[in-house]
Structure 1
Amino acid sequence: MTYDIANPEPAGMVASLSSLGYSLPAAIADLVDNSISAEAQSIDVEFAWAGRDSWIAVVDNGRGMSASDLVTAMTVAARGPATPRPSTDLGKFGVGLKSASFSQARQLTVATANGGPWHTRTWDLDVVEQYGEWRLLHRADADTMTVLDRVRPASDHGTVVLWRRLNGYHAANVTENDERTQKQFYAEATRAEAHLGMVFARFLTGARRRSLRVSGTAVQPWDPFMSAHPSVQRLPAEELPLGGSTVRVEAFVLPSSHRLSQDEYDRAAGPQGWLDQQGFYVYRRNRLILAGDWLGQRGLRREEKYNLARIAVDIPAESDAEWGVDVRKSSVVPPVALRSHLHRIARQARTRAADVLRHRGQIAARVHGDPLVHAWNVRRSDGQLNCRINRSHPLVQAALRAGGANPSDVRAMIRLLEETVPVASLRVMHEADTSDDPEPFGGPGPADEQATEVAQRIYESLVSGGRSPAAARERLRTMSPFDQLQGFWST
């Protein structure tokens, strides 16, 4: 065997790890993974604003590491995906700590203890690039050690991960009095809090729940399935075989807004909002990997009428390879053997979700004997949506009565129509894959009798308002929908 040793150049490797596309909340979640793997019961994420010297730390009371274990943890890919790991380990590639940290900061310092003295190691990317070597520094500079002394636990076990020289905040023009940048910094803390509550919700509930705080505020778990709400529909859970293990899939259909309080509705929308939170939620060892995605299933797209459909998928850690879990633990590709099953379950959930909204948004009688009359009627006919004012509505009839309408009735009718635009019905009945948008007066072409009558009334109103006949016709020619129709105004 003949070969060359082709070690990666440190600066290039750092640049590669730094550009993996972590968001700040996702990078912090990777650090929290390590704390949970170390069996920490208390985890604190600290955001400290100090202008260009601002810092972020993750502090836990886990079992900590020895000096040799710390060096291993700080080494890029020291443990590959094939390395045996305990059932509590949320890692996979052995690069999470480094890649997440390098994506957010130029200096990474870790201090840890596991029943003895505290050990400290630092990656300073300026040093790595200057010397072209992976120089893992013992200890850190005086300012960093001061921060470590301030935040590390008083016990003889635990770990502190500290980021300094933060990307985007270490620029020379960033000062401690920069209120705009400070506001942005703490907005990131708020986003991180919401993200952690979603990703680690299963670790924040139950008898063995952890304590997780961001800048002293307890992170609240977010249950995307509202599983404790009495109006949630739960489809039967399925255990799908995959190799020598099983994948558990359970679909949920959330209640419509009228069954939720405003606070429940707002919270159920999740960190990304209703549209982006529909779909599959993939969990690995109870850690959320992917939130709200249709997994690239053919024909399954985000549409508002499916907002209430959410599906939990629990995959065993041993099947990472089949699911294509990436380094950031933020995307998956379902195995071919399961795709048809996932597609079937998704279709069922989406149909149920659309039915819930359709029932809520339908324009139909709701009280037997004395039906409630709606101001709008929405129908689908010949592949087209039609939206019409209900001429049998009492207010509409009052406005149309012979001898002229009472101005108060007209104002009330206009207000009613403004307040009851049938958005929910249109959303549910609209088919995104077809061109079913309503066409005013049947669409472009010669105007029919009804369009001409409406145009004549507008024309007369314009003339009585002081416009000349020519100017009134010119105004009609540019007014929707008459700009697409042919009639007396276009001759």
Structure 2
Amino acid sequence: MLARLLQWISGTASTPRRVRNGEAVETPIAYDIAAPEPAGMVASLSSLGYSLPSAVADLVDNSISVEARNIDVEFTWAGADSWIAVVDDGWGMTAEELVTAMTVAARGPAATRSSTDLGRFGVGLKSASFSQARQLTVSTAKNGEWHTRTWDLDLVEGSGQWRLLRGADDVTEAVLDRLRDRSGHGTIVLWRRLNGYRTNGVSTDDERTQKQFYAEATRTESHLGMVFARFLTGTRRCNLQVRGTLVKPWDPFMSNHPSVQRLPSEDLPLNGSFVEVEAFVLPSAQRLTSEEYDRAAGPEGWLDQQGFYIYRRNRLILAGDWLGQRGMRREEKYNLARIAVDIPAETDAEWGVDVRKSSVVPPVGLRPHLNRIARKARATAADVLRHRGQVAARTHGDPLAYAWLVRRPEDRVVCKINRSHPLVQAALRPVGPRAADVHALIRLLEETVPVAALRVMHEADNGDDPEPFGGPGPAGDAAVEVARRIYESLVSGGRSPAAARDRLRTMPPFDQLRGFWSE
């Protein structure tokens, strides 16, 4: 629906035609102009579900599209006046090009784009920015002359008009002056009045919120290293920095390691082009140093990084997912299986690439082939773990993710309660556990007994593992109650409500369920 709406806004929707004397002619129709109301459109674009790292990645897309060689992501803490900026030395824009770039859906998905363009719908800059800040300012120079435009969402909603401001206020101009260089070309995208930080209780000396702000910068750095790894190492190499630190590329396939198993690559035909698929089985822990093992786990940990990796024009769209393939879910014995899929940009529609460039739906005709390749990779990965490996998940992963910690020191299987889990911490507070927390904890432990991890250790292979809370789909009352307790524990521990929901979305088993955390 959103894609169709954007087509109407950008004027790319088709006009009915009929045949007259053997020729197709447009049929005149009566119509009304039904433009979207600004406040409603802003609310829609602001609620597309961007995390801060994925929103920043959308801005970096634009910098790479204009062949920037240097891209700097700045996070500056100033309490309620904190700001984030992406600065590049790309082509820059004229005043007319800047206005077009700031216009919502000025170019639809059917518009002709250059081979370097990573966009699709023409809303990435606006939707990503509106999801994170109430003020978006872009300043750009193409031939030595700087042009600046600003979206103030309070003004848009108050006036009921898309009033794109020329220039910026004095405080914003002062920030822009700090960020401009003397090259005569490039672009600055600046977010001010950040969502979640403009409350009465946030001040410059709020150490807890400041720590959270810079933790988001660290998460962003890891995310960018994963999404843009090919641009940090390939022929179109660029220097990407977050807070002055060079972003390190993360290769999920450990391509240069001598012990990686590469399964035969395949070119799958799709509408006159080809989808390149190559499966990798990573080395077991015994063949990796501790540093290699920890880095190979990735930003989300071993369990969440297994599966397909979808690339579009070398930009990572989806990292670690089994694409809804029937009977395929995340299990420890498949941790070493990772599959690269390169899709041509012209097949976006067939793959259902969304506005955020963060999810895909495989074309029906390719699903049997992807299933076959995945099953082979999973079987090989399970064999590596069964005969040579050690269980990696729930040992080196996110300490907030799992209720159990499973280890095998000296050939003994040891299962311990994860003391870092928010519900466990809530139950063990010095003031005494609340009955509801203890009840939720017990239910969570019942639902997440690490059967799969134990099975890998004992080299069994059955297909009757229990499904936590009944399996993927809408969450039932029991799952919602446990999730609610975890959410409250995360918030009371210092996370913002948005960050707590974001954490729940990636925490098993809630990553496979739909509830308030996924809305």
Q: State the TM-score, normalizing by the size of structure 2.
A: 0.72
Contact 1:43 1:211 in 2 (8 A): yes
State which of 265, 276, 281 in structure 1 corresponds to 2:309.
Answer: 281
Residue number in structure 2 paired with 1:476? none
Q: Secondary structure at the match of 1:429?
A: coil
| Structure 2 residue 167 is matched with structure 1 residue 139 | yes
Distance in 2 (CA, whole Å) between partners of 1:207 and 1:91 is 20
Residue number in structure 2 paired with 1:81? 109
State which of 101, 117, 121 in structure 2 corresponds to 1:93.
Answer: 121
| Structure 2 residue 459 is matched with structure 1 residue 431 | no
Provide, for residues 139-167 of structure 1, a one-character-per-residue CA deviation record: whole Å limited to 9, x for no partner.
01100000000012221100000000000
Q: Where in structure 2 are the equivalents of 1:171-186 lying within 5 Å?
A: 171-186=199-214
Q: Where in structure 2 are the equivalents of 1:471-490 lying within 5 Å?
A: none
| Structure 2 residue 229 is matched with structure 1 residue 198 | no
Distance apart, 1:426 and its partner CA: 3.1
Q: Secondary structure at the match of 1:351?
A: helix
Residue number in structure 2 paired with 1:59? 87
Contact 1:354 1:428 in 2 (8 A): no
Residue number in structure 2 paired with 1:9? 37
Provide, for residues 368-413 of structure 1, a one-character-per-residue CA deviation record: whole Å limited to 9, x for no partner.
xxxxxx9679xxxxxxxxxxxxxxxxxxxxxxxxxxxxxxxxxxxx
Distance apart, 1:110 and its partner CA: 0.0
- Supply the AA of the counterpart residue of 2:328: L
Which sections of structure 2, spanning at least 5 residues, go unmatched?
1-28, 391-409, 414-452, 468-519
Q: Secondary structure at the match of 1:172?
A: coil
Distance apart, 1:171 and its partner CA: 1.4
Contact 2:455 2:461 in 1 (8 A): no
State which of 300, 303, 322 in structure 2 corresponds to 1:272.
Answer: 300
| Structure 2 residue 155 is matched with structure 1 residue 127 | yes
Provide, for residues 223-252 of structure 1, a one-character-per-residue CA deviation record: whole Å limited to 9, x for no partner.
000000000000011001001100000000
Distance apart, 1:116 and its partner CA: 3.0
C-alpha spacing 1:31/1:428, structure 2 compared with 1 (3 Å) = farther
Distance in 1 (CA, whole Å) between partners of 2:194 and 2:186 is 24
- Supply the AA of the counterpart residue of 1:431: N
Distance in 2 (CA, whole Å) between partners of 1:207 and 1:284 is 16
Residue number in structure 1 paired with 2:382? 354
| Structure 2 residue 277 is matched with structure 1 residue 246 | no
Distance in 2 (CA, whole Å) between partners of 1:424 and 1:295 is 24
Distance in 1 (CA, whole Å) between partners of 2:56 and 2:411 is 51
Contact 2:285 2:389 in 1 (8 A): no
Distance in 2 (CA, whole Å) between partners of 1:283 and 1:352 is 23
Distance apart, 1:360 and its partner CA: 2.0
Residue number in structure 2 paired with 1:114? 142
Distance apart, 1:207 and its partner CA: 4.0
Distance in 2 (CA, whole Å) between partners of 1:112 and 1:21 is 28
Q: Where in structure 2 are the equivalents of 1:294-305 lying within 5 Å?
A: 294-305=322-333
- Tell me how many residue pairs correspond in the alignment: 381
Q: Secondary structure at the match of 2:257?
A: coil
Q: Secondary structure at the match of 2:92?
A: coil
Distance in 1 (CA, whole Å) between partners of 2:194 and 2:412 is 55
Distance apart, 1:423 and its partner CA: 4.9
Contact 2:48 2:127 in 1 (8 A): yes
Residue number in structure 2 paired with 1:325? 353
Provide, for residues 38-97 of structure 1, a one-character-per-residue CA deviation record: whole Å limited to 9, x for no partner.
110000000000000000000000000000000000000000000000000000000000
Residue number in structure 1 paired with 2:197? 169
* Percent identity of paired positions between Structure 1 and Structure 2: 76
Which sections of structure 1, spanning at least 5 residues, go unmatched?
363-373, 378-421, 437-491
Distance apart, 1:428 and its partner CA: 4.8
Distance in 2 (CA, whole Å) between partners of 1:133 and 1:57 is 26
C-alpha spacing 1:151/1:427, structure 2 compared with 1 (3 Å) = farther
Contact 2:311 2:318 in 1 (8 A): yes
Contact 2:281 2:381 in 1 (8 A): yes
Contact 2:332 2:456 in 1 (8 A): no
- Supply the AA of the counterpart residue of 1:139: G
Distance apart, 1:172 and its partner CA: 2.1
- Runs (4 or more) in structure 1 with deviation over 2 Å come to 374-377, 422-436
Distance in 2 (CA, whole Å) between partners of 1:158 and 1:150 is 14
Distance in 2 (CA, whole Å) between partners of 1:118 and 1:275 is 47
Q: Secondary structure at the match of 1:299?
A: coil
Residue number in structure 2 paired with 1:223? 251
Residue number in structure 2 paired with 1:365? none
Q: State the TM-score, normalizing by the size of structure 1.
A: 0.76
